[in-house]
Amino acid sequence: MERRPHLDLVKDGGLLRNTEEIPQTSLVKSAAQCSHKEGGRGPVAPRIIKIRRNFNREEIKVEGRVKKRKWRNVPETGNIEEKKKEDEISKSSKVTAASEEGGGEAKRPRVAGTRSFPLQISSYRLHEELGKGAFGKVMLASLADSSERVAIKIIEKEDQNKELIEREARVLEAARGCPYLCQLHAAFQTEREVFLVMEHIRGGSLLDAITKGPLRMDTLICYAAEMVCGLQHLHAKGIVHRDIKPVNVLMTGKDHIKIIDFGIAAENLFGQSTTSCSHGTDLYLAPEVLMKKTYDAGMDWWALGHTLFSLVTCRMPFYSGADKEQRINSILHDPPAFPMCMNSRLKDLLQKLLEKDPEKRLGVHGNIREHPLFRNIDWTAVESQKL
């Protein structure tokens, strides 16, 4: 078996150094061919499925002791830009995965006409921190051999967050092809960290935008239509974002938006499937989540309504003060605090998205694309980002 250099993220005079060699490991197979659920329940969107063994039984020596590693593969993948045909995505999705111990450069798919990104951290220059979370940070970076900018999410490998990392990598893979979802360029790992190389979105968040005042109605409608396309792309693949809010929607600088941060997304929620884990920001959580009931994609439609309300009013639809119990009670029992002068079609859309009963909520019940607010929207043009 071919052995490849491993990059241990230990700085030696500010430089990364090679520390050991590791074997090349398993492949990740696209599930584009897996177009049906088990049991004949009809077609579902493809999902990425690991088809080779994990290495959770590997033993490594750490400071003279044998320590068992429980990490599974985080698949290494080269870049696959947005493609118009599903068969092109299927052809390019077979990639080489990284080993438990290593982050060395691995073989990448060669797809005609697509951009390939390096699979080793030494190939990037890190510039400034864009954001920080509980387990890692996002850095602005550029390729060492060019000025092209990317955002690299660097996540520490700890037992308590391994499932979150693996899930986020899978969701980013599923987001490929939708122009309104942050796109993954490459993923690789070292012994201590996982690196997700993503597109750099320059325009700031919608939260930044409303510090300057409410969005214009035409801008709001276009952004809303693009968010609808992004959410429907995820939902068709059984994914619920679970943290839609203005700070997680970025502007591209070209009058478009992109949804980011899939770290707490839920997977495999097809049809009548639900989940009960409570995640997200409490100000944007749907009533069923706050009541610890099972929920589905309706949670995202509630959060979309909450976000759109904030974009047009620069405030929250419910009490948003310091008293958490009062915040929860307001979401559960109070009607949205609509301003008197709100556009009637927008108000109707928000009322239907902020419906407290998830079974009656627009997006779950009824086709949101048919709402009168979107009467002038060419959805085909939106999906191809030609609006």
- Residues with catalytic annotation? 243
- Rounded to whole angstroms, the Cα distance separating 303 from 290 reads 13
Task: Write down the residue that tokens 């009058």 correspond to.
Answer: 255
Per DSSP, the three-state class of 358 is helix
DSSP secondary structure string, 176-200? TT-TTBPPEEEEEE-SSEEEEEEE-
Please list, residue by residue across 359-384, b when 16 or more beta carbons sit within 10 angstroms of its beta carbon and e when fewer do. Answer: eebbbbeeebeebebbeebeeeebbe
- Rounded to whole angstroms, the Cα distance separating 72 from 170 reads 13
Question: Across the strands, what pairs with 187?
Answer: 77, 196
What is the token pair recorded at 95? Answer: 């990639």
CB 289 within 8 A of CB 308: no
Ligand-binding site membership of 153 (annotated):
yes
- Rounded to whole angstroms, the Cα distance separating 277 from 382 reads 33
Which ranges of the chain would DSSP assign to H, the alpha helix?
86-92, 162-174, 206-210, 217-236, 287-290, 298-313, 324-333, 344-353, 379-383
- Rounded to whole angstroms, the Cα distance separating 138 from 141 reads 9
Residue type, 233: H
Question: Across the strands, what pairs with 4?
Answer: 22
Question: Across the strands, what pairs with 3?
Answer: 23
Task: Write down the residue that tokens 């897996």 correspond to.
Answer: 34
What is the token pair recorded at 322? Answer: 């310091």
Residues annotated in a binding site for ATP: 153
